[in-house]
Amino acid sequence: MRPSIVLFGDSITEESFGEGGWGAYLANHYSRSADVILRGYSGYNTRWAARVLARAVTGIPSASVAAVTVLFGANDASLPTRASAFQYVPLGEYRENLRAICALLRDRWPAAAVILVTPPPVDERGRLRFIGGGGGDGSGLPERTNQATGEYARACVQVAVECGLRVIDIWSRMQMFPGWETSFLRDGLHLTPRGNRLLFEEVVWALGDANLSLEALPADLPLCSDIDPDNAAKYFEEEEEEE
């Protein structure tokens, strides 16, 4: 049975199989060795995610799950006084919800590597361009700020350290690159193809660290390049006997 990698998160996960998306890259990378299972829920914060997690993963064969990425925080960090206030979750509760999500995942899939991912940074000018100069509520201010999202990103890293889990601090990582605002973010929040590529590389690195690199995982069935053209039949007779 192939191992599977579950992607649990908000819109940055839900849209990860779009063109040049990090989820699609991952599925392509592991095309012969692991299944990538998409569980992305646009607009969700950790409060909602914690409550639906058990339902979201119903039917995924537990024995197969080798890793799960958890990417929430972009919605929790919506400012409580602005246009996306209904998605806002206070920082302390975000921390609690993340802990609860990780505990549920560990309970369900004890052998799986849980990889937390911080929300990406926010480009406030990009947000205003996207939602209109009024900020969605006429205030002229964006509904998210990079500073507030940064606090959630730090909390995410802290929870990971405290729980002994791997973490990808994509909030900090992206801001190491000049021009991150537009090269990695298409609307100040969601990822461009380059942003997707960077996140994909970070996830592949973390999976490798969890002994789930392409090299560490067996290929599912003989690779055509390994088949002796003069004796192809033998590779499949053996398969048949094992069934």
Q: Should residue 107 be labelled a site residue for a second copy when binding is judged by CB under 8 A? A: no
CA 81 to each of CA 44, 86, 143, 220, 231: distance values in angstroms, whole numbers, following the listed order: 18, 10, 8, 51, 70
Q: Minimum CB separation from a second copy for residue 243, in Å? A: 5
Q: Does 61 bind a second copy (CB under 8 A)?
A: yes
CB-facing half-sphere around the CA of 183: CA atoms within 13 A: 11
In the numeric block, which tokens belong to residue 176? Answer: 């190491």
Which of 157, 214, 217, 227 is the binder for a second copy (CB under 8 A)? Answer: 227
- Structure tokens belonging to residue 229: 């053209």
Using CB under 8 A, pick the residue from 103, 111, 161, 232 that binds a second copy: 232
Of 86, 90, 205, 208, which lies in the binding site for a second copy, with binding defined by CB under 8 A? 86
Token readout for 125 is 């000018």
Return the range that interacts with a second copy (CB under 8 A); candidates 109-117, 144-152, 175-183, 223-231: 223-231
Among 41, 28, 40, 33, CA closest to 4: 33
Q: Is 103 in the site for a second copy (CB under 8 A)?
A: no
* CB nearer a second copy, residue 107 or residue 237: 237
Active site residue 190: yes
CA angle 88, 201, 148 (to 5 degrees): 20
**Cα(142)–Cα(106) distance, integer angstroms:** 36
Choice from 22, 47, 72, 105 touching a second copy (CB under 8 A): 47
The site string for a second copy over 183-222 (x = CB under 8 A, - otherwise) reads: -------------------------------------xx-
Alpha helices in the chain (DSSP H): 11-14, 22-29, 46-56, 91-108, 124-131, 146-163, 170-174, 180-183, 193-209, 233-242
Residue closer to a second copy (CB basis): 42 or 158: 42
37 in contact with a second copy (CB under 8 A): yes
Tell me, yes or no, if 187 is annotated catalytic: yes
Q: Does residue 35 have an active-site annotation?
A: no
What's the distance, CA 24 to chain centroid? 12
Which residues form the interface with a second copy (CB under 8 A)? 1-2, 14-15, 17-21, 23-24, 27-28, 31-32, 35, 37-44, 47-48, 51-52, 54-56, 58-59, 61, 63-64, 85-87, 220-221, 223-225, 227, 229-230, 232, 235-237, 239-240, 242-243
